[in-house]
């Protein structure tokens, strides 16, 4: 170390540093000391790219930790001392020499994918030996898939893609680091999803038998399958299974037991408002012996409801009789691990007197509507839990039916009901608790909301492989007063609005415009509107019904300036909307309202006239802190448009 003296030292003081220049090898450190006699205040300052940042105050020395760099890095360390009559600076050039190589790699990926055959994306590292020589070959890889929803697995050095849930161009990004800044590479894959998937059949247990009140889900051939398998405790010439529909014998099957006295029946059920019964027995020497009768069996369609309190839909002071229906079924919550229990039941909307299962108000209303309209039984498990964030709904990969998790309890019920392969749709209402909460990632919830939804939906598709559609509600602005001034609630709704871009079979429905209103929990009449809005979507997707008018919430496709003057913005929707002059206050350009003076609709395009030309980058419709149920953009179909936030404005048309 060399102490500087000379012209930098003010007479009567000793102002000096121990180094003129500093060169540090990557991963090492260097300490600079100073003499500051007579200084009233001193600062150590890092100057990078012309920007000064205070690193330490009133310290006799400062240590520079080189850390990891990509390429040589240069900056300056400044010692600034304040005296009674002057301020003095010493600037020390600093260079950090790269010593440890960063990963050099490429991604090997197919150009196209049918999104059903499993593919692998390999990261091929070309400088592994160089990194090993520096003991820097401990690689950490983060994978990110964007553009489409996928089901994926991460393995050493590769990403395994099992399925995509949409068509289009998918971008796969790998970020690899060995302790320094991550190095990123991307691959783009064109994905073509088939129009229809083969139905995945559930494999029955060798001793599987039906139980009273059981529900059987119909498959893509419009029939359910009842399995009756087991082994006799005594020899018999044959075994029989008789099927009754509304107490009328419709089919009898017989078979000779195998050498180990085992038997296996599978019998088809037609969906409909039919009560089935089966009788099992043996026949020896012309004599039949009836061994078991199972009654009150039905066949129809199965669904899941998940989310938080507005999905649970029971937290209300309003009273209503716990009515049910013989054609609506559910399965009670699991008491513990072990053999499945017979927890089949006719659910109520809210458990009050020891009932086995509840569907919530709109879940029950939806079930009743579907039974009435479609004339087939309905099964629903409502797995929602009030006051929960989306990260709390994730699958425990080590123990999927973990009773300590929301997902595990729901999955356990469906598994015990033997309906994992019968679930046709999932209805999701959640997000209130994500508006202002801090995500486990340490950042705002909205930034990770879609990632959590993608992981959760991938788990749904793995555990319930025949899901045909997802139905997501866009939450109420500032719902339950959990939004605020950060804009987190606005962005949660934006993430919900854009989910359909990632899925071929997902709809997002607005809760705005529903009356009676629901600033937090909706009243029963408001929740009933949930059911009314969902019914035609389900009938479209599962029955192939073609609605006469649009049944979805209007959704923005793109925003762009009109002409070179930039004094008007065109908002293109997926269907016609209705303009009202009261809406001018609901649009914000770069967070500023009051820029819109009028609006005009032509077909699916709403054109906003601005009070002056603008260079705004983004547009938002409806801020959670300043809006009214009386000022809503409504579709020509009467459904409120989905709100949008921070949407990029294109350059012009």
Q: Give the strand pairing for 287-307 and 215-217.
A: parallel
Give yes or no: residues 531 and 382 share one domain. Answer: yes
The pair of structure tokens assigned to 434 is: 């994500």
Q: Is the pLDDT of residue 26 over 50?
A: yes
Q: Which of 298, 320, 341 is the last residue of a domain?
A: 298
Residue 5 in any domain: the answer is no
pLDDT at site 446: 92
pLDDT in tens, 502-517: 999 999 999 998 988 8
608: domain CATH number is: 2.60.40
Q: Is the pLDDT of residue 342 over 90?
A: no
**Strand, helix or coil for residue 192:** coil
Number of domains making up the chain: 5
Residue 8 in any domain: the answer is no
Q: Could you tell me which of 425, 383, 641 has the C-alpha nearest to residue 535?
A: 425
Compute CA 104 distance to the chain's CA centroid, rounded to the nearest angstrom. Answer: 33
Residue 209 in any domain: the answer is no
Give yes or no: residues 416 and 504 share one domain. Answer: yes
Residue 4 in any domain: the answer is no
Q: Is the pLDDT of residue 2 over 50?
A: no
For residues 635 and 550, is the Cβ–Cβ distance under 8 A? yes
Give yes or no: residues 423 and 488 share one domain. Answer: yes
Give yes or no: residues 304 and 291 share one domain. Answer: no
Total number of residues shown for the chain: 653
Q: Which of 509, 543, 577 is the last residue of a domain?
A: 543
Distances (CA, A) of 504 to 179, 576, 641: 39, 22, 20
Give yes or no: residues 422 and 377 share one domain. Answer: yes
Q: Is the pLDDT of residue 79 over 50?
A: yes
Give yes or no: residues 408 and 497 share one domain. Answer: yes
pLDDT at site 444: 87
**How would residue 642 be classed by pLDDT, with cut points 50, 70 and 90?**
very high
Q: Could you tell me which of 173, 164, 163 has the C-alpha nearest to residue 141?
A: 173
428: domain CATH number is: 3.40.50.1110
Domain hosting residue 522, numbered range: 300-543
Look over the chain and give the mean of its residue pLDDT values, rounded to a whole number.
92
Ranges 123-137, 295-309, 403-417: which has the least confidence: 123-137
**How would residue 164 be classed by pLDDT, with cut points 50, 70 and 90?**
very high
Average pLDDT in the 374-387 region?
96
Residue 551 in any domain: the answer is no
Average pLDDT in the 22-32 region?
90
Give yes or no: residues 323 and 458 share one domain. Answer: yes
Give yes or no: residues 67 and 116 share one domain. Answer: no
pLDDT at site 134: 86
* Cα gap 638→603, rounded to integer Å: 15
* Cα gap 428→310, rounded to integer Å: 10
Q: Is the pLDDT of residue 165 over 80?
A: yes
Give yes or no: residues 373 and 469 share one domain. Answer: yes
Q: Is the pLDDT of residue 335 over 70?
A: no
For residues 310 and 522, is the Cβ–Cβ distance under 8 A? yes
* In the block, residue with structure tokens 């601005």: 610
Q: Is the pLDDT of residue 188 over 70?
A: yes
Give yes or no: residues 232 and 289 share one domain. Answer: yes
Give yes or no: residues 535 and 591 share one domain. Answer: no
Distances (CA, A) of 495 to 196, 440, 576: 27, 18, 22
* In the block, residue with structure tokens 């595990």: 408
pLDDT in tens, 535-578: 999 999 988 888 999 999 999 999 999 988 899 999 999 999 99
For residues 17 and 92, is the Cβ–Cβ distance under 8 A? yes
pLDDT at site 4: 36
pLDDT in tens, 281-306: 999 998 999 999 999 999 999 999 99
Average pLDDT in the 460-488 region?
88
pTM for the model: 0.87
pLDDT at site 5: 36
Q: Is the pLDDT of residue 203 over 60?
A: yes
Residue 196 in any domain: the answer is no
What percent of the chain lies above the pLDDT cut of 90? Answer: 79
Q: Which of 497, 520, 543 is the last residue of a domain?
A: 543
Residue 389 in any domain: the answer is yes
Give yes or no: residues 389 and 479 share one domain. Answer: yes
Residue 143 in any domain: the answer is yes
45: domain CATH number is: 2.60.40.10
Distances (CA, A) of 483 to 44, 50, 446, 522: 41, 39, 11, 17
Compute how many other C-beta atoms are within 10 angstroms of the C-beta atom of residue 623. Answer: 22
What residues have CB less than 8 Å from 71, skipping those under 6 apart? Answer: 98
**Strand, helix or coil for residue 537:** helix
Average pLDDT in the 442-461 region?
94
């Amino acid at each position: 170390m060399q102490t500087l003296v000379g012209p930098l030292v003010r007479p009567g003081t000793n102002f000096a540093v121990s180094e003129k220049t500093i060169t540090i090898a990557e991963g090492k450190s260097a300490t600079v000391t100073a003499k500051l006699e007579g200084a009233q205040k001193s600062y150590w300052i890092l100057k990078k790219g012309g920007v000064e940042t205070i690193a330490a105050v009133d310290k006799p020395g400062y240590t520079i930790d080189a850390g990891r760099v990509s390429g040589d890095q240069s900056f300056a360390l400044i010692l600034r001392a304040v005296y009674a009559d002057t301020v003095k600076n010493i600037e020390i050039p600093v260079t950090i020499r790269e010593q440890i190589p960063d990963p050099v790699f490429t991604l090997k990926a197919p150009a196209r994918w049918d999104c059903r055959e499993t593919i692998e994306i390999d990261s091929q590292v070309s400088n592994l030996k160089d990194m090993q020589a520096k003991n820097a070959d401990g690689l950490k890889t983060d994978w990110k898939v964007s553009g489409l929803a996928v089901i994926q697995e991460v393995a050493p050095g590769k990403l395994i893609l099992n399925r995509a849930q949409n068509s289009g161009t998918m971008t796969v990004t790998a970020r690899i680091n060995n302790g320094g800044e991550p190095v990123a590479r991307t691959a783009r894959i064109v994905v073509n999803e088939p129009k229809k998937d083969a139905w995945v059949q559930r494999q029955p247990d060798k001793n599987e038998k039906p139980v009273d009140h059981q529900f059987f889900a119909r498959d893509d051939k419009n029939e359910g399958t009842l399995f009756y398998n087991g082994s006799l405790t005594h020899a018999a010439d044959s075994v029989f299974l008789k099927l009754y529909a509304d107490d009328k014998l419709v089919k009898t099957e017989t078979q000779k037991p195998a050498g180990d006295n085992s038997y296996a029946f599978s019998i088809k059920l037609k969906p409909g408002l039919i009560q089935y019964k089966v009788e099992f027995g043996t026949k020896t020497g012309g004599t039949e012996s009836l061994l078991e009768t199972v009654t009150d069996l039905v066949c129809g369609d199965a669904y899941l409801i998940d989310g938080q309190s507005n999905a649970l839909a029971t937290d209300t002071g309003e009273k209503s009789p716990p009515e049910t229906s013989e054609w609506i079924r559910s399965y009670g919550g699991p008491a513990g691990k072990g053999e499945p229990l017979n927890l089949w039941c006719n659910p109520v909307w809210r458990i009050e007197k020891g009932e086995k299962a509840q569907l919530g108000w709109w879940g029950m209303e939806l079930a009743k509507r579907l039974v009435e309209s479609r004339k087939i039984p309905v099964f629903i498990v409502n797995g929602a839990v009030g006051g929960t964030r989306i990260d709390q709904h994730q699958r425990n990969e080590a123990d999927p039916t973990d009773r300590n998790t929301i997902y595990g309890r729901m999955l356990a019920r469906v598994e015990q009901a033997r309906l994992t392969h019968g679930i046709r749709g999932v209805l999701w209402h959640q997000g209130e608790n994500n508006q202002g909460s801090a995500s486990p990632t340490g950042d705002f919830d909205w930034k990770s909301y879609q990632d959590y939804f993608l992981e959760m939906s991938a788990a749904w598709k793995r555990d319930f492989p025949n899901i045909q559609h997802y139905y997501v509600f866009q939450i109420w602005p500032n719902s339950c007063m959990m939004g605020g001034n950060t804009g987190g609630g606005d962005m949660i709704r934006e993430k919900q609005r854009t989910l359909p871009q990632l899925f071929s079979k997902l709809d997002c429905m607005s809760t705005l415009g529903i009356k009676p209103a629901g600033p937090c929990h909706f009243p029963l009449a408001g929740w009933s509107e949930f059911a009314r809005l969902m019914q035609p979507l389900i009938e479209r997707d599962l029955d192939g019904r073609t609605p006469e008018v649009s049944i979805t919430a209007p959704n923005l496709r793109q925003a762009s300036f009109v002409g070179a003057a930039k004094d008007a913005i065109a908002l293109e929707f997926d269907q016609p909307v209705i303009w009202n002059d009261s809406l001018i206050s609901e649009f914000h350009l770069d967070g500023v309202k009051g820029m819109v003076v009028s609006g005009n609709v032509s077909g699916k395009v709403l054109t906003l006239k601005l009070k002056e030309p603008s260079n705004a980058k983004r547009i938002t419709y409806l801020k959670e802190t300043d809006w009214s149920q009386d000022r809503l953009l409504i579709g020509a179909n009467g459904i409120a448009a989905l709100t949008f936030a921070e949407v990029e404005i294109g350059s012009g048309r």
